[in-house]
Amino acid sequence: MRTQSSAIDETGIAVSTPGAPEPHVPANRRPGTLQAALGVTAFSLTFPATAWGLEGFGPWSLVAVRSVLAAVIAGGCLLALRVPVPSRRHWAGLAVVAAGVVLGFPLLTTLALQTSTTAHAAVVVGLLPLTTALLSALRTGARPSRMFWGAALAGAAAVIAFTVQQSGGALNSADAYLFGALLICAAGYTEGGRLARTMPGWQVIGWALVLCLPLSVPGALVALSYEPVHLTAHSVAGLLWVAAGSQFLGLVVWYRGMAAIGIPKASQLQLAQPLLTLVWSVLLLGEQLTPAAPLTAAAVLICIALTQRARG
């Protein structure tokens, strides 16, 4: 019988990969459940923390500095644990992960959050699991059931209807950034799922971050020279969180939790992430939610749950 494993990145979405063994699930699941829940909570804070970071940094500076700081943390862990350098055949895949997850998704969502609320972005990006599943099916040649495709299309329709309604009948530049982020991040997740068959998921992200250093370091220097920086408590806290919390440390507790409780249960915890982000947008940013936001997020949650059930 074939089982599934997964790769997960900063948004906390599991990418199932057929053929890999399911991790051993200990009898005592409480510590693992707590760790997985902490990971999901860390990921749900990404958009509010980005909004805070934009109070003091330009979008390009925030993304570049974030990548550099996360790479320093990840590189330090890789060195401390004496993790061997991946073989040459894995670097092309790591480049795809880096382009989609380390650079593309943070940059496009940060650009979107200049004009979009975090609540709006959370609902749109809530479609990411379905987008990833679609690209994964195309990449692997899998043939999901009709129930899977029906739920995926229903979720997409709900998000598109919400986006058009919130944008006054037409998509704006922020929506274009968000939908672009969905596609490029889903591609990175799909490739990360393939790589996670041969190395732990946190190492996939760690090496992808290190791989970006030749771009992120000069990019940070150039961006900081052109974009004004106004350090505030919010901007510094936001930068530190997206670099250390969202892009690395959150992954550590998430992967440990997933290994302890198994992928199916961990995936159920992930379904709460968009709704958690809506809560943070109100508590931390003072945003006012329209009734459509939580309703659409709940609809997408149901569609994702149906796709998980359809995939067995």
- Walk along the chain (312 residues) and give the pLDDT tens digit of each residue: 444 444 444 444 444 444 444 444 444 567 777 887 888 898 889 999 999 999 999 999 999 999 999 999 999 999 999 999 999 899 998 999 899 889 999 999 999 999 888 888 888 887 777 777 777 777 767 676 778 778 778 877 887 787 777 766 666 788 889 989 989 988 887 787 778 778 887 888 899 999 999 999 999 999 999 999 999 999 999 999 999 998 888 877 876 776 676 654 655 566 677 888 888 988 899 888 888 888 888 887 787 777 666 655
Longest C-alpha distance within the chain, in Å? 57
Euclidean distance between CA atoms 246 and 212, whole angstroms? 17
Rounded CA gap, 309 and 299, in Å?
15
Please give the C-alpha separations between residue 290 and each of 123, 166, 256, 296, in angstroms, as whole numbers.
12, 9, 36, 10
Query: Is 154 within 8 Å of 122 (Cβ atoms)?
Result: no
CB 276 within 8 A of CB 69: no
Alpha carbon distance 284, 166 (integer Å): 22
pLDDT at 60: 95
- Backbone phi, psi, residue 171, to 5°: -75, 145
Phi, psi of 172 (to 5 degrees): -110, -175
Place of tokens 């995926």: 152
Give the pLDDT of residue 248.
82
Cβ pair 205, 254 in contact under 8 A:
no
Least Cα distance to 139 among 263, 15, 262, 258 occurs for 15
Rounded Cα gap, residues 11 and 40, in angstroms: 8
What pLDDT sits at residue 223?
95
Q: Is the dihedral of CA 31, 33, 36, 38 positive or negative?
A: negative
Q: What are the residue ranges of helices labelled H in the chain?
A: 30-44, 46-53, 59-80, 91-97, 105-112, 118-125, 128-140, 146-166, 173-195, 201-211, 213-226, 233-240, 250-261, 263-270, 273-283, 292-310
The pLDDT value given to residue 51: 94
Nearest to 261, CA basis, from 18, 30, 1, 41: 30
Q: What is residue 61's predicted lDDT score, i.e. its pLDDT?
A: 95
Residue 230: its pLDDT value, please?
Answer: 93
DSSP tag of 89: G
CA atoms within 13 Å, Cβ hemisphere of 100: 26
Counting Cβ atoms within 10 Å, is residue 283 exposed (0-12), middle (13-18) or buried (19+)?
exposed
d(CA 5, CA 3): 7
Instruction: Provide the 3-class DSSP secondary structure of residue 12.
Output: coil
Joined together, the tokens standing for residue 161 give 């209807």
| Helix (H), strand (E) at residue 7 | strand 4-8
pLDDT at 167: 66
* 3 state DSSP class of 132: helix
Q: Which residues contact 279 (CB under 8 A, 6 or more apart)?
A: none
- pTM of the model as a whole: 0.78
pLDDT at 21: 46
Identify the bridge partners of residue 6 per DSSP, sorted by sequence position. 16
